Structure 1
Amino acid sequence: MRRAPHGSADGKTPQDADDTGTTSWFVQLHDKLALAADRRIGWQNLPTPLGLLALIGLRNQLRRENLFDTTAYPARNLPPLGPPDPRHLTERTADGTYNDLANPRMGMAGSRFGRNVPPDRNFPEPEPGILSPNPREVSRALLTRTRFIPAESVNALVAAWLQFMIRDWVSHGTGSADRSWRVELLDDDPWPERPMLVPRTVPDSTRPDGEDGADGLPPTYINEKSHWWDASQLYGDDLAAQRELRAGEDGKLKVPHNGALFSDDPERDPANVPGFWVGLALMHTLFILEHNAICDRLRAEYPGWSDEELFQRARLINAALIAKIHTIEWTPAVISHPTTATGMRANWYGLLGRRVHRLLGRLSESEVLSGIAGGRTDHFGVPYALTEEFVAVYRMHPLVPDDWSFRSAADDSLLQEATFEELAGRHAYEILGKHTLPDLFYSFGTAHPGLVTLHNYPRFLQEFRRPDGKLMDLGAVDVLRIRELGVPRYNEFRRRLHLAPAKDFDSLTDDPAWAEELRRVYENDIERVDLMVGLFAEPRPKGFAFSDTAFRIFILMASRRLNSDRFLTRDYTPQVYTQAGLDWIEDNTMASVLLRHFPQLRPAMKSVDNAFAPWKTTGPSR
């Protein structure tokens, strides 16, 4: 299935797609030079201005060649949607519908993941190839954490934040246990169940019977979450869930106590969902409090507004603030190379910068000069969706430490030491009930996450019991799931992102011992190296907590999440957000959000410009 013709959301051809114009000629030449410079020198090795030009060129090329539409494949069982209502002009819907008024299904919860590699590369390998090498052996031999390798340039809030974002963006569901993969185990494997059973991903229920791969088209899968950056992890994925989370007064959300997120339905209790832990609960609580603070500000400005009006505007403002924090704070923290830090800030404000933006507003329609926020909505010719490749490169479980220390924000005294197992599931409520939120945030802010690399996968997640009692090695599941979803293996993935493949194991990694381990596991076949393993093994650019190959998907998709969302582009206006709302987004950062609700953190945070950088300890040096 070919991608749609290149064009923008309003049907006009973007300037850089005008094949007959001077601009197009110049842009195409620039992009070719950018690709050549990246391959020969590496964008990270260029001076910052040249590195930025290289990244702009790479992004242009990825937009042209690495967006593929899966919604055009045969479909059935699509719920009927009527024409948009007037309220859709100024409100995000609970399920993500009507963001694009001309295509109201685009990006809604229950719609398909898109793709960043061509359809002919989306077919998973048939058995037995898909199980080779054995995912469990890959996990044991290459992922197992022998010692904790910290990412010392950031604090542990980056791990909690990332999962908080993932809960907004993507979910394939919990899998189909009646159609499990059978992973055979070696004799010396201590795994208690034989064989290891891994539930398969639930098939796309919108594909006609017999057409999921049988019609010459690759299989597709459903995202249970809205694809939009709409803070659905706070507000729910449907109207029923949203109503349950609301307080019903002054636009506010119910505030959790000791982590419990108020649910009359046990199935909605977050502790019953795999992946719940203290870090996730902290982020939920913080931005529930922030939503309610926004409601107070709006009520003071507009005292006649109803509960519904206050809720809807506060949601818009809170979601945009979260998107801004991720774009210009979290991402520059985890990829702290000077070029990428400048580039991510430019995604929001443009290269002219925040100061010019504040003084003069947008001076150009160009996203490069004036940023994406408040600019033109553009889908680049392909209906917006998050992609399977995006999900694959965001499998960053090494960020999570196994061992934690909780300390007092007042004097850094030790309160408790705990393993990650004692932070997860229903145990999280025990931690939240035992310690104050300022102490917990302080403990995260003064600790380091793990580096996303080989031999740094959390031990607990390699023998993880889900709330439903099923035991899993999440490392093995990560490896198998990427294969199952038809994301190419490492070398082919690099080729499709216009990167040179690794010639051999010695060129894949700069660690000779790792090269030998990889050679043994993959039986000297570099083309069999799994994507996640290759991402973890390759050398990282300076300041990066993860790989340059993964960064190529971020170059494309980080800006696309903004470009395609009308609430972050053409409708990012005072008429939709209110001027008070836009000012709130502009004037706040992760640090100001934390300090508004927990002023006790000020002594620890006074030394950092970015709340995701390591905080100063408040007591004697440890």
Structure 2
Amino acid sequence: MKMMSRKLAMPLLGVLLWVISIHAGTFETATLLPPPLTGFGPSKSIIRNHCDVPKITEKDLNRSVSFGNSVINRMLRLETNLGWSDVHVKKGTPSYGQLIASHPDEEALKQGRDALVATKATIQLMNIFCHKHHLSPTDCSKYISSYSLASTPLESSCQKQHKSCSQEELLSPYRSFDGSCNNEHDSPRGAAFTAYRRLLQAEYLDGIQEPRRAVNKKQLPSARLVSSTLIKETDESHSDLTQAVAQWSEFIEHDLSHTAANKMVHSDSTIECCTSSGNHLSPRYIHPFCAPISVPNDDRFYAQHGVDCMSYVRSITAFRPDCTFGPLEQVNQATHFLDFSQMYGTTGKKAAILRTFDEGQLDFTTKHNKVFLPVSHHPSDDCQLSGDNSVCFLSGDSRVNIQPQVTAMHTVWLREHNRVAKVLSELNPAWDDETLFQETRKIVTAEMQHITYHEWLPLVFGKHYFNKIQKYNNYDENVNPSVSNAFATAAVRALNSLKDGKLNVYKEDRLVNTSINLRNHFNKPSVVEEPDYLDGLVRGMATQSSQQLDLKFPDDISTHLFSNGIFGYDIFSLDIQRGRDHGLPPYTAYRALCGLPEVTQFKDLSDVMSPEVIESLSRVYNSPRDIDLIVGGIAEKQTGDSLFGPTFTCIVADQFLRTRRGDRYFYTNENQPAPFSIAQLREIEKVTLARIFCDNGDDIEMMQPEVFKRISDSNRLMKCDSGEIPKVNLKMWMDSRRKYY
């Protein structure tokens, strides 16, 4: 064990030096990464070294855009035929659950069409200008990325995301709903409906859009084959952490990222890539956006149900931030900030739907005299339900109903918002609805940020490494907070391994009252409003043990995700496929980026993986350089007290430093237009998730102070009203105290 720690010491030191150097503003001296870290923009060395490549003229660029439009227009006939043939996502199927989770907003679809035209135009430019000059697909795509969409028909579409902010917007005491105008010099940075950031150059087979292949040029192994070979269903509980860690992880993921699946270009119709019974479609029914996952004939679960196809629709395309031609990028429908967008929505229109416009309150419904989320008027559309008489909730994110603990968390925070708004209205009777709403939103968002950085993140990232970078927390307008594709598509998704397939529902004495199987409640949230269930689920999060972060997943999410009652999907297979769709380079590229030694043979992985895992990887992959990022990252042994191995520790550390340092409205930033006073910050620093649970349950009387940790002698159950679990004193927000000083 000591030897292993020594072997990892230097690489991990490199990881920390890299992360710190970036956020200390000394990236230019870092040697672990080639700039630019964003992965956008051309490589000038490529252009210099290929002076013989003909200059692409404005006329050439416009012709390529016309060609791209013609490619998209030719989809009309196929999509019409698919409509006539009734090939679309059917309600009641696992595909429908997946559609809800990756539901595309109108804005994303509109931008996606034009961004796709730019992608198709790039392909034509490559065919004309690069092949005969023997540029590799990667070098060619970098070369073409030096050309702007300016002066082409796509210029206005791309520039729409580069809105200019007025002085009033820049000096607003409150952040925008869509995340724009946060950075004073780059208004769209971090806004919703912009592209994920790249840590490494995208890796596509053709340099633009086709998923990569293995080193030997053959197809990569089926994502389900990889999953079924590596994943073990017998899970192992964590000795110290609770399910609240897993649940907060999912909640924060929904705040920072929301990847959307494509719909048909010429209509609002959904795209289905397999039959309802889980079989491959005839080639004439395959939409170009389909990338279905083939299931092996001898699959231990799916074979018995005759399933050989798992539907996967490729993610919506995004314009590149610099409005250039170039490889495929994917849109993030969430804002890139930790700003509670999953609660408040990412547009002013969505936020308005969720408000009462009375005393700063969020909209709600009541049942059994208890407050719950507002209900959907079309539950069979927004949930996996058979009719419109069933319960389905609304919030700022379509995933609010994905499983009962997510719904419970949304409900608790809805109540927290309305509780705070009510107190503020009593303290400040002169405040109008807008002031009450925005001040409450600002306080509640600060509470969530504090819990994330001071309760949750030290447990996920590990206190040892977290403390080393904690001092690099000042706002820096040069830091890009945008969520990385590697974080959203791989690192944060690995936390699904913490979940349990059975959710325990506890009484106040912490004896299990009952339990529910996760597989029966995907997008079926009615249990949350049944008497005693909300409190039981909340106590369950704080009492039931988390699972270990490893290659063990409960079958509720490895074979019954979004189940139709017979079979569902495999969450790990979908995540692997999404990584390939998004052009993520292989695991070995990221481990090298994070300071670990280069890998040429499977045995080289022994510095961070067990012999058993390496043997399994060698059975499914032809080369270690084929390993998908999420697979290699989750296969690594844990680093110190981090839940992750070194590669995902690196990626997560990078993201959460950027999320804080690049957010002008982060609650601790004293240079925002209307910062919290010192007295107010002291109050916010008292908040814990235990306090949120105590204040917003139906009848929760006791909670341990650290709900992310199991109940123990050092973390005993306390009376909620005993003073052992501190309360935020909202009197610090009385107008008479001059809120900001």
From the superposition, tell whether residues 405 and 599 of structure 1 become closer, same or farther in structure 2 (CA, over 3 Å).
Answer: closer
Matches within 5 A, 1:480-491: 480-491=577-588
For the residue of structure 2 that corresponds to 1:153, the secondary structure is: strand
Instruction: Say whether residues 1:198 and 2:312 are aligned partners.
Output: yes
Instruction: Say whether residues 1:99 and 2:99 are aligned partners.
Output: no
RMSD value, Cα: 3.6
TM-score by length of 2: 0.65
What is the identity, as a one-letter code, of the residue corresponding to 1:589?
T
Aligned to 1:84: 166
Instruction: Say whether residues 1:313 and 2:439 are aligned partners.
Output: yes
For residues 461-517 of structure 1, the C-alpha deviation after alignment (integer angstroms, 9 at most, x for no partner) is 433237999953222111111122111111111112332134543453543332222
| Distance (whole Å) between structure 2 residues aligned to residue 468 and residue 242 of structure 1 | 35
What is the identity, as a one-letter code, of the residue corresponding to 1:378?
E
From the superposition, tell whether residues 539 and 434 of structure 1 become closer, same or farther in structure 2 (CA, over 3 Å).
Answer: same
1:68 to 22, 38, 48: 38
From the superposition, tell whether residues 318 and 131 of structure 1 become closer, same or farther in structure 2 (CA, over 3 Å).
Answer: farther
For the residue of structure 2 that corresponds to 1:464, the secondary structure is: coil
Aligned to 1:539: 637
Instruction: Say whether residues 1:613 and 2:613 are aligned partners.
Output: no
Q: CA deviation at 1:202?
A: 2.0
For residues 577-603 of structure 1, the C-alpha deviation after alignment (integer angstroms, 9 at most, x for no partner) is 466753442232222222233496564
Aligned to 1:418: 516
Instruction: Say whether residues 1:180 and 2:297 are aligned partners.
Output: no
Is the Cα–Cα contact under 8 Å of residues 229 and 323 in structure 1 kept in the other structure? yes
Is the Cα–Cα contact under 8 Å of residues 153 and 614 in structure 1 kept in the other structure? yes
Aligned to 1:231: 340
Gaps of 5+ in 1: 1-36, 351-366
For residues 235-294 of structure 1, the C-alpha deviation after alignment (integer angstroms, 9 at most, x for no partner) is 011112111111221112124557543344656655874871111112212222222233
Q: CA deviation at 1:106?
A: 1.6
From the superposition, tell whether residues 421 and 432 of structure 1 become closer, same or farther in structure 2 (CA, over 3 Å).
Answer: farther
Aligned to 2:123: none
Instruction: Say whether residues 1:386 and 2:483 are aligned partners.
Output: yes
From the superposition, tell whether residues 279 and 188 of structure 1 become closer, same or farther in structure 2 (CA, over 3 Å).
Answer: same
2:504 to 391, 405, 422: 405
1:138 to 222, 226, 238: 226
Q: CA deviation at 1:384?
A: 3.9
What is the identity, as a one-letter code, of the residue corresponding to 2:408?
L
For the residue of structure 1 that corresponds to 2:238, the secondary structure is: coil
Aligned to 1:342: 467
| Distance (whole Å) between structure 2 residues aligned to residue 270 and residue 461 of structure 1 | 26
From the superposition, tell whether residues 68 and 128 of structure 1 become closer, same or farther in structure 2 (CA, over 3 Å).
Answer: closer
Higher relative contact order (CA 8 A, sep 6+): 1
Q: CA deviation at 1:182?
A: 3.6
Aligned to 1:18: none
Comparing 232-241 and 176-185, the one that deviates more: 176-185
From the superposition, tell whether residues 71 and 235 of structure 1 become closer, same or farther in structure 2 (CA, over 3 Å).
Answer: farther
What is the identity, as a one-letter code, of the residue corresponding to 2:519?
E
Aligned to 1:326: 452
Is the Cα–Cα contact under 8 Å of residues 244 and 263 in structure 1 kept in the other structure? no
For the residue of structure 1 that corresponds to 2:429, the secondary structure is: coil
Q: CA deviation at 1:406?
A: 1.4
Matches within 5 A, 1:491-570: 491-502=588-599, 504-508=601-605, 510-523=609-622, 525-568=623-666, 570=669
Is the Cα–Cα contact under 8 Å of residues 273 and 467 in structure 1 kept in the other structure? no
Q: CA deviation at 1:104?
A: 1.9
Aligned to 2:734: none
| Distance (whole Å) between structure 1 residues aligned to residue 7 and residue 18 of structure 2 | 10
Q: CA deviation at 1:394?
A: 0.9
Q: CA deviation at 1:326?
A: 0.7
| Distance (whole Å) between structure 1 residues aligned to residue 343 and residue 685 of structure 2 | 21
Larger radius of gyration: 2
Gaps of 5+ in 2: 43-144, 264-270, 272-286, 383-391, 719-741
Percentage identity across paired residues of the two chains: 21
What is the identity, as a one-letter code, of the residue corresponding to 2:197?
G
Instruction: Say whether residues 1:166 and 2:253 are aligned partners.
Output: yes
| Distance (whole Å) between structure 2 residues aligned to residue 469 and residue 296 of structure 1 | 46
For residues 400-442 of structure 1, the C-alpha deviation after alignment (integer angstroms, 9 at most, x for no partner) is 1112221212x2333212211134211x322441434332211
| Distance (whole Å) between structure 2 residues aligned to residue 235 and residue 111 of structure 1 | 18
From the superposition, tell whether residues 264 and 288 of structure 1 become closer, same or farther in structure 2 (CA, over 3 Å).
Answer: same
Aligned to 2:545: 448
For the residue of structure 2 that corresponds to 1:445, the secondary structure is: helix
Is the Cα–Cα contact under 8 Å of residues 475 and 660 in structure 2 kept in the other structure? no
Matches within 5 A, 1:151-300: 151-176=238-263, 177=271, 178=287, 179-189=289-299, 190-191=302-303, 192-204=306-318, 217-255=326-364, 257=366, 260-264=373-377, 266=379, 273=399, 276-300=402-426
For residues 83-110 of structure 1, the C-alpha deviation after alignment (integer angstroms, 9 at most, x for no partner) is 3252552122221111123322221111
For the residue of structure 2 that corresponds to 1:152, the secondary structure is: strand
Is the Cα–Cα contact under 8 Å of residues 225 and 232 in structure 1 kept in the other structure? yes
What is the identity, as a one-letter code, of the residue corresponding to 1:135?
A
From the superposition, tell whether residues 395 and 286 of structure 1 become closer, same or farther in structure 2 (CA, over 3 Å).
Answer: same
| Distance (whole Å) between structure 2 residues aligned to residue 574 and residue 378 of structure 1 | 14
Q: CA deviation at 1:572?
A: 5.7
Aligned to 2:61: none
| Distance (whole Å) between structure 1 residues aligned to residue 629 and residue 16 of structure 2 | 26
What is the identity, as a one-letter code, of the residue corresponding to 1:438?
D
From the superposition, tell whether residues 406 and 253 of structure 1 become closer, same or farther in structure 2 (CA, over 3 Å).
Answer: same
For the residue of structure 1 that corresponds to 2:547, the secondary structure is: coil
For the residue of structure 1 that corresponds to 2:643, the secondary structure is: coil
What is the identity, as a one-letter code, of the residue corresponding to 1:96?
G
